[in-house]
Chain A
Amino acid sequence: MMKLTGLAFAAGLATLMGSTAMAEPVTATPGQAVNAVLLPKFLGILPFDQANRGAQEAAAELGSTGTLEFIGPTPENSAAGQIEMLTNATTQKQNVVMLSNNAGDQIAPAAEAAAAAGTKVVTWDSPIPNGAGESFFVAQVDFGSIGVVMADMAYDLAGGAGEFAVLSASPDAANQNAWIDAMKKTLAEDAKYKDLKLVDVVYGNDQSEESYNKALGLVDKYPDLKVIMAPTTVGIVAAAKAMQDEGLCEKVKVSGLGLPAEMVSYSLNGCAPQFALWSFVDLGYLTYQASYALATGAIKGEVGEEFTAGRMGTFKIEEDPGRPGAKRVLMGPFTVYTKDNVEAAAN
């Protein structure tokens, strides 16, 4: 920590100057020692692995002489494991922990303890709902724009009119709920969607089997259903497989947020002609860039600060509209996948 004091002072000076003059994007000095931990919800699934790839890429570019560890709990122990690992990282005096939070507000005390001990906590993918202990959140996309994209995909697949339903992850997943609310808002405000009717929201808890059964339940419950919108990568494949198994792909289309690698066969056979996703590689890359800048003192994590993030360009810290008092860095945009581009993205 002693080593960083001078840097922090310099950075503080820079910020001071920045605030008096017009804000200029800061660029962190490469080659410094930043010990970082990338902590996903749990290990073993593709999106988090991709994020790690992006983070490693950024670390190599910045030439950090510290370490970048990719550690996480096993799936059955996710929440408790995350809290434990964050606490460990704090005692090891890591400079920054990049967290995709799966423990809700339960993790806030551990994050506050980390911040107090000098270990910065940057969240990505999924934030700490109350924002406590977190420096800022690297948001994949603007929640409002997800709402618009989901409404548009439903509109396209339903042919402009008809019933559709949402298959979400869990009732307490903050990001999912925010996206669904944003979509509802879009539907209500734009006359374009007046014939589109959202009939139900169900939850598959990110379990294949539950999502599969819930998707079939929707079809049984609403005979005129045209689209199942699943803003979860587990839910969308389970729903697509359920429609395929029951021979319903002609009648009910599946859409939402999915990984191209997992969705390729359903895109090609017409069960899920359209879905969207952002790049997890980019998300990992940006998260590392922002965390490096924060740990080296190039930015302080204040609203209004701008920084450059390598190949991705310039980003700005702003108020998080979804979480009062919390801050975010918005990545955006995302890609809509169809049968034309899904195969290329799958590899």
Chain B
Amino acid sequence: MTLLTRASPQTLRLLALGLALLATILFFATQIEGYLSPRMFSRISTSAAVVLPIAVGQAIVIMTRNIDLSAGSVMGVVAYMAGQTLSSMPDLHPVLAVLFCMSLGAALGAINGIIIAWGRVPSIIVTLGTLALFRSFLVEWSDAKTITTASLPQWLVDLPSANAFSIGSLDIRVTVVLALVAVLVTGAALTFYRPARRFYAVGSNPDAALMAGINANRVVLTAFILSGAFAGLSGFLFLAKFGNITVVAGLGYELKAIAAVVVGGVSIMGGSGSMIGVLMGALLVDTIDNSLTRWAVVSEFWRDALLGGLIMAAVTVDTLASRQLTRMRKGGQQ
């Protein structure tokens, strides 16, 4: 009870989300043979790793009361151009390759940010435009050539199966570590780095932010640059994981990211949300998705509908549970 009375509503939400994730895992453990296995852990963690960075960037943008619909296109452009660059410069240091991807993404994000912050055009309109624009650019740029695994340096091709370390029999892959670093660094910054707190301030009350001497334009621009940079990191992971990159790379990833972010409790009205929430949101969506693929009971035709339904159910459980916990907390105080 002491824990409940001291915890903030945010913490309670995370607790509820954790319960929803646990319930999902326990349910599928009864349904799928060999579900609670190191192999399943690898499957879900590596799958979530690709979407996590882009979701982190999306969360920052959503915190400022904006949205970045172009993130999937940015991811595609970066994956393609990085593949091209690495084909022609196979000796490029891996760290520089990652930096290249993030810088390219950041540059594309800056285009969004400048138009939104100084052009005063709503982000949903601007990024809907750049969603198509970046994709069209990629179509022109690619000249219908595919980036193939054969042209990529071997370290990149091997990266998805590379193990960073193991906890017992659970393998933590390098790509998973990369994604987790993105989450943790961003999470720490959002908690302890003063300039990063401005994302919350601007989304929480834009008028008050102005009065408090916060340059909202610059904050929004930074959010979109970060969103682009993280989409670039996702692009890098996408390139490493799938090897074959065509102009469809990253298509629809902005929606996956938004789903993870919203399930993770980031308010679409801006001002609140946490990286732990985004991590759990991405894990929950991916767990449901990967589990349904292996669940014999449902036919292929019902999987997508069921995925949507289960995400909604998980969010409902989460909302009800956090409300219940809040009530228990109030009771505890009296």
* Chain A residues within 8 Å of B, Cβ to Cβ: 42-46, 48-49, 74-77, 171, 201-203, 206-209, 212-214, 216-217, 220-221, 234, 237-238, 241, 244-247, 259, 261-262, 264-266
Is B296 a contact partner of A201 (Cβ separation < 8 A)? no
Is B135 a contact partner of A46 (Cβ separation < 8 A)? no
> Which of B146, B157, B242, B294 is within 8 Å of A45, CB to CB?
B146
Question: Given known contacts A45-B248, A213-B290, is B43 in contact with A220 (CB within 8 Å)?
Answer: yes
Is B248 a contact partner of A264 (Cβ separation < 8 A)? no
- Decide if B9 is an interface residue (CB 8 Å cutoff): no
Q: State the Cβ distance, A175 to closest chain B Cβ, in Å.
A: 18
Q: Which residue of A lies closest to B150 (CB)?
A: A265
In the assembly, what is the distance between CA of A17 and CA of B160, in Å?
Answer: 66
Is A220 a contact partner of B39 (Cβ separation < 8 A)? yes
> Which of A46, A238, A265 is within 8 Å of B146, CB to CB?
A46
Is B301 a contact partner of A171 (Cβ separation < 8 A)? yes
> Which of B34, B132, B142, B300 is within 8 Å of A44, CB to CB?
B142
Q: Ordered nearest first, which 9 A-B pairs have the shortest CB separation?
A: A44-B247, A49-B144, A217-B293, A44-B139, A265-B150, A208-B242, A237-B244, A245-B160, A245-B161
In the assembly, what is the distance between CA of A264 and CA of B244, in Å?
Answer: 11
Q: Which of B84-141 contact A (CB under 8 A)?
A: 131-132, 135-136, 138-139
Is A207 a contact partner of B161 (Cβ separation < 8 A)? no
Give chain B residues whose Cβ lies under 8 Å from the Cβ of A209: 47, 50, 238, 241-242
Give chain B residues whose Cβ lies under 8 Å from the Cβ of A244: 157, 161
- Decide if B11 is an interface residue (CB 8 Å cutoff): no
In the assembly, what is the distance between CA of A261 and CA of B244, in Å?
Answer: 10
In the assembly, what is the distance between CA of A266 and CA of B148, in Å?
Answer: 10
Chain B interface extent, by class: 35 or more
Is A214 a contact partner of B293 (Cβ separation < 8 A)? yes
Give chain B residues whose Cβ lies under 8 Å from the Cβ of A43: 139, 144, 247
Question: Given known contacts A74-B135, A76-B135, is B244 in contact with A207 (CB within 8 Å)?
Answer: no
- Decide if B149 is an interface residue (CB 8 Å cutoff): yes
Is A237 a contact partner of B243 (Cβ separation < 8 A)? yes
Is B138 a contact partner of A44 (Cβ separation < 8 A)? yes
> Which of B142, B249, B294 is within 8 Å of A221, CB to CB?
B294
Is B146 a contact partner of A261 (Cβ separation < 8 A)? yes
Per-position 1/0 for B138-165, Cβ under 8 A of A: 1100111110111000000100110000
Give chain B residues whose Cβ lies under 8 Å from the Cβ of A246: 161
Give chain A residues whose Cβ lies under 8 Å from the Cβ of B68: none
Q: State the Cβ distance, B195 to closest chain A Cβ, in Å.
A: 34
> Which of A74, A207, A216, A241 is within 8 Å of B243, CB to CB?
A241
- Decide if B178 is an interface residue (CB 8 Å cutoff): no
In the assembly, what is the distance between CA of A247 and CA of B296, in Å?
Answer: 25
Give chain A residues whose Cβ lies under 8 Å from the Cβ of B39: 220
Q: Which of B30-76 contact A (CB under 8 A)?
A: 34, 39-40, 43, 47, 50, 73
Is B300 a contact partner of A207 (Cβ separation < 8 A)? no
- Decide if B311 is an interface residue (CB 8 Å cutoff): no
Is A46 a contact partner of B161 (Cβ separation < 8 A)? no
Is A207 a contact partner of B248 (Cβ separation < 8 A)? yes
Question: Given known contacts A43-B144, A265-B150, is B293 in contact with A207 (CB within 8 Å)?
Answer: no
Give chain B residues whose Cβ lies under 8 Å from the Cβ of A262: 146, 148, 244
Is A46 a contact partner of B160 (Cβ separation < 8 A)? no
Q: State the Cβ distance, A251 to closest chain B Cβ, in Å.
A: 13
Give chain A residues whose Cβ lies under 8 Å from the Cβ of B132: 74, 76-77
Q: Known A-B contacts: A75-B251, A241-B243, A264-B150. Give 9 more (CB < 8 A).
A: A46-B145, A74-B132, A74-B136, A75-B135, A76-B131, A171-B300, A209-B238, A265-B148, A266-B149
Per-position 1/0 for B193-223, Cβ under 8 A of A: 0000000000000000000000000000000
Q: Which residue of B lies closest to A220 (CB)?
A: B294
Question: Given known contacts A207-B251, A246-B161, is B144 in contact with A45 (CB within 8 Å)?
Answer: yes
Give chain B residues whose Cβ lies under 8 Å from the Cβ of A171: 300-301
Q: Which residue of A lies closest to B35 (CB)?
A: A220
List 13 A-B pairs, Cβ < 8 Å. A42-B247, A43-B144, A74-B136, A75-B251, A76-B132, A207-B251, A220-B39, A220-B40, A220-B43, A245-B241, A246-B161, A247-B161, A265-B150
Q: Which residue of A lies closest to B256 (CB)?
A: A209
In the assembly, what is the distance between CA of A265 and CA of B47, in Å?
Answer: 23
> Which of B242, B247, B293 is within 8 Å of A238, CB to CB?
B242
In the assembly, what is the distance between CA of A245 and CA of B142, in Å?
Answer: 26
- Decide if B246 is an interface residue (CB 8 Å cutoff): yes
- Decide if B289 is an interface residue (CB 8 Å cutoff): yes
Is A74 a contact partner of B149 (Cβ separation < 8 A)? no
Q: State the Cβ distance, A76 to closest chain B Cβ, in Å.
A: 6
Q: Which residue of A lies closest to B254 (CB)?
A: A76
Give chain B residues whose Cβ lies under 8 Å from the Cβ of A207: 248, 251-252
In the assembly, what is the distance between CA of A213 and CA of B161, in Å?
Answer: 14
In the assembly, what is the distance between CA of A77 and CA of B135, in Å?
Answer: 10
In the assembly, what is the distance between CA of A5 and CA of B33, in Å?
Answer: 70
Q: Which of B290-306 contact A (CB under 8 A)?
A: 290, 293-294, 296, 300-301
In the assembly, what is the distance between CA of A265 and CA of B158, in Å?
Answer: 13
Question: Given known contacts A74-B132, A217-B290, is B246 in contact with A45 (CB within 8 Å)?
Answer: yes
Q: Which residue of A lies closest to B252 (CB)?
A: A207
Q: Which of B232-288 contact A (CB under 8 A)?
A: 238, 241-244, 246-249, 251-252
Is A221 a contact partner of B296 (Cβ separation < 8 A)? yes
Is B300 a contact partner of A201 (Cβ separation < 8 A)? yes
